[in-house]
Chains A and B, each alone.
Chain A
Amino acid sequence: MLTRREFTAAGLGLVASPSLLALLDACGGGSSAPAARQTGPEASGGKLQIAWWGGSDRAKRTQQVLDLFTRKYPKWSFDSSFTGFNAYWDKINTQAAGGALPDIIQMDMRYIGQFTQRSQLLDLTKYADAELNLGDFDRGQREQATINGKLFGVSLGGNTQSLLYNQSVIQQAGMQPPTGKESWEEFGSYCKQLQAKLPAGMAALDDCSWDITPFEVFVRQRTKKELYTSDGKAVFTNGDALAWFSLWQEYRSAGFITPGTVAAAENQQDTPDNSTIVLGKAAMRLQWSNFVGQYQVLMKNASIGLAPHPGGANIGTYIKVSQAFSLSAKTQYPQAAAAFIGFFVTDPDAVTVLGLDRGVPASAKARTTLAPNMTPADKVQLDFVNAQVKNNRAKTVLDPTGAGEVQKAMARNALSIPLTKVSPAAAAEKFMSEVTKALTA
């Protein structure tokens, strides 16, 4: 029979021993010792964490490529996660805050400035030739993700702003698709004509007033500059915001854009599966060119076409790095992760699986691999981007920290006009004050 003293001693011993073991484990040769920093995919194994945003089709393709990589290098496996675009940044920021960014992060050009400013991304310059295989990479795409001379992201595809339209519906209405040479007013007249011939419940144009993508084109057309200055201030003024909101208010009064609640739903769940074109609520949408494939996959009974962005004489569009893969600065497997990215953008099997879902590949070899076997939608995208190469003005200023918050402010204020009957003037003022707050915080 144990005395109380012996019981206490035994209990303390039990509690103390696991902590001693953990201490020994950390001091001795652990598997995550610093010596493991330079490991290529053949040399050793591990689990890579990867995160991206996108819809169900992109998830399927990406998962296939992850499986292809694991088949080639069986010692490596993946821990993957994906969400819609809006939720993605909260998640990534939270993970960054906890020091637990995934090894491989899909990155957007509006956010990359923020992450590099906080030194959260790994400089990939030294992996450029070997692991990343960037020898035949399009120079413009490589430069967009190069900040202060260091490469922080590898482009997964190029895209450009465009007008996506449901070709079948427009043909049935007996009209020609827009040419892209219309001014905003002429485009409005076109939409009005189209609306008269569309079935009930379908608007001619999706309400895109809340989306910063067409707003950026609008500002670039008006000011002939960029959205932001190189020292992080906004180029656009109250006048530009008011012109934008007023334009869409005119469109709204003419009755050919989707109602505010539909636009809000699209903003709440922003995957292709929930877009108004796929759901049959709109015939046209201002959108990035790489969405043509994603929409086409979801719409079996209609074909999707691409037309140049409206807005007339001044060029506002640019060929963008649609998205990139970056590596976390704290990754334990930089070389293997870089090799994965190189595999993702140049390996023929991987490139074939991915198609043009994330845009037109920047690697020339990848483009030639894809050429013979492209789906019709991919061909439309490739032809369009090639045609637009001569019709764009390169973006020269990277979005500053706070650009993501500006994007959210645009959504809130643009939607307040149809939903809470705020006047465009009041919305523009509120938007500008939120922009100032976002860019100076």
Chain B
Amino acid sequence: MSEAAREGLAAYLFLLPWLIGLFGLTLGPMVASLLLSFTHYDLLSPPRWVGLHNFQLLLSDDRYLHSVRVTFTYVVLEVPLKLAFALLLAVVLNRGLRAVGLYRALFYVPSLLGGSAAIAILWRQIFGGDGMANMILTSLGWHHPPAWLQDPSYALFTLVALGVWQFGSPMVIFLAGIRQIPREFYDAARVDGAGRVSQFFRLTLPLLTPLILFNFILQMVYAFQTFTPAFLVSGGNGSPVDSTLFYTLYLYNEAFGNLHMGYGAAMAWILLVVIAVSTAAVFASSRYWVFYMETER
């Protein structure tokens, strides 16, 4: 074997553990899942091929379509709201307040805690019928506030609030992006008579569009896959009355609750395609609203 070939072999041997992980734990199961989506499989008897039957069933499954609606509503509300908060606070924090480091850390803490199980349970305590939120509201004079988590009209919005509360990580990214805009631009704008608001909408915002694109796609992909808060806040079944039946929650219930593994696999692959298509659509649209400073040279 030549020296070059031996080096190549050594390289592959070093990569081997990671490659085993990639094929065994990621790509392999993905291919298996795709094949399983065309079968009836309950984990106890061998899979039975049924072709497109699972996908046909999904189209006529009311609860599935409802879960799609719930998830889309969540994504459409949570992602823009979260980014708006993140951007607003990044601009405010950029003003060079005295304890900016402290504020930055404080605003980031919710993101650190994340939508974890503990936080979801905390949220349930706060927004339940007799929870802290309602205690505060009654003391402020609102005598019969709704039971936020048990009323189907409001339950989903408490989950949106939980998502928006974690705006810390996009905020930190926006802050870094704002800091990168050369100060000369702002000086020039001020000389031309632009006020604060004008500076924001005509200078900061356009120059931040690449980061907005990045954050938007990232947050959108996460939002589609939300599971933990929905599972814990609703008690595992999308209650009340399926108003918090997220796509992943319904998938979990069908696949692991009722052992309809093929059905669950079909749902998972549809989600993958939807996320991919949404991401592609956002990228395609980016041509019209994202301004990359470097390429304009």
Q: Kindly identify which residue among B10, B129, B252, B256 contacts A262, using a CB–CB cutoff of 8 Å.
A: B129
Q: Are B240 and A86 in contact (CB under 8 A)?
A: no
Which residues of B211-268 are within 8 A (CB) of A?
A: 234-237, 239-242, 252-253, 256-261
> B76 → chain A, closest Cβ, in Å?
21
Q: Is the CB of B235 within 8 A of A267?
A: yes
Q: Which residues of A contact B43 (CB under 8 A)?
A: 97
B273 in contact (CB, < 8 A): no
Closest chain B residue to A415, Cβ basis: B241
Query: Which chain B positions have C-beta within 8 A of A420?
Result: 152, 241
Which of A87-95, A179-187, A239-247 contacts its partner? A87-95
Q: Is the CB of B152 within 8 A of A94?
A: no
A87 touches B236 (CB 8 A): yes
Tell me the count of chain A residues lying within 8 A, CB to CB, of chain B: 35
Complex: chain B residue closest to A422, CB-CB: B241
Q: Does B13 contact A (CB under 8 A)?
A: yes
Partner of A419, one of B42, B128, B151, B256: B151
Considering only residues 405-419 of chain A, those with a C-beta below 8 Å from chain B are 405, 408, 411-412, 415-416, 419
Say whether A90 contacts B236, CB under 8 Å.
yes
With both chains docked as a complex, state the minimum distance between the C-beta of B171 and any C-beta of chain A, in angstroms: 32
Bound form: Cα–Cα A411–B234 in Å? 13
Cβ A4 vs Cβ B10 within 8 A: yes
User: What is the interface residue range for chain B against chain A?
Assistant: 20 to 34
- B residues in contact (CB < 8 Å) with A: 10, 13-14, 17, 42-44, 128-129, 146-147, 149-152, 234-237, 239-242, 252-253, 256-261
Tell me if A432 counts as interface (CB < 8 A to partner B): no
Q: List 23 interface pairs A-B (beta carbons < 8 Å), by A numbering.
A: A11-B14, A84-B235, A87-B236, A90-B257, A97-B43, A97-B261, A260-B150, A260-B240, A261-B151, A262-B150, A264-B147, A264-B240, A264-B241, A265-B129, A265-B147, A265-B149, A267-B235, A268-B239, A405-B257, A411-B239, A415-B239, A416-B241, A441-B258
A270 to B239: give the CA distance in the assembly, Å. 13
Give the complex CA separation of A313 and B261 in angstroms.
46
Q: Is A89 touching B152 in the complex (CB atoms < 8 A)?
A: no
Given A261-B147, A268-B235, A441-B258: A412 and B242 interface contact (C-beta under 8 Å): yes
Is B235's CB under 8 angstroms from A90's CB?
no
Residues in A neighbouring B44, C-beta threshold 8 A: 118-120
Query: Which A-B residue pairs are the 3 nearest by beta carbons?
Result: A268-B235, A261-B147, A261-B150
Q: Which residues of A contact B (CB under 8 A)?
A: 4, 8, 11-12, 15, 84, 86-87, 89-90, 93-94, 96-97, 118-120, 260-262, 264-265, 267-270, 405, 408, 411-412, 415-416, 419-420, 441
Q: Tell me how many residue pairs across A and B have CB atoms closer than 8 Å.
A: 88
A4–B7 alpha-carbon span in the complex (Å): 9
Q: Which of A118, A264, A405, A412 has the most chain B CB atoms closer than 10 A to its own CB? A: A264
- Closest chain B CB from A3 CB (angstroms): 12
Q: Are A264's CB and B150's CB within 8 A?
A: yes
B235 touches A87 (CB 8 A): yes
Residues of chain A contacted by B257 (CB below 8 angstroms): 89-90, 93, 405
CB distance from B62 to the nearest CB of A (A): 8
Report the bound CA distance from A87 to B235 in whole Å. Answer: 7
How many Å lie between the Cα of A408 and that of B235 in the bound state?
12
A93: which of B10, B237, B240, B256 is its contact (CB, 8 Å)?
A: B256
Nearest residue, chain B, Cβ from A4: B10
Residues of A within 8 A of B253 (CB): 90
Q: Are A93 and B259 in contact (CB under 8 A)?
A: yes
Measured between beta carbons, the chain A residues less than 8 angstroms from B146 are 261
Given A261-B147, A262-B150, does the pair A408, B237 have CB atoms closer than 8 Å? yes
Question: In the complex the two chains form, is B237's CB within 8 Å of A261's CB?
Answer: no
Chain A residue numbers with a CB within 8 Å of B258 are 93, 405, 441
- Quick one: closest B residue to A83, CB to CB? B236
Contact indicator A86/B129 (Cβ below 8 Å): no
Contact present for A412 and B241 (CB under 8 Å): yes
In angstroms, Cα B257 to Cα A96, docked, is 10
Nearest CB on A from B93, distance (A): 38
Other A-B contacts than A90-B257, A268-B234, A412-B237, 13 sampled, CB-CB below 8 A, are: A11-B14, A86-B236, A87-B236, A90-B252, A90-B253, A94-B256, A97-B256, A118-B259, A262-B147, A268-B149, A405-B258, A411-B237, A415-B241
Give chain B nearest CB distance to A249 CB in angstroms.
Answer: 16
Q: Of B10, B13, B42, B257, which is in contact with the most chain A CB atoms at under 10 Å from its CB? A: B257
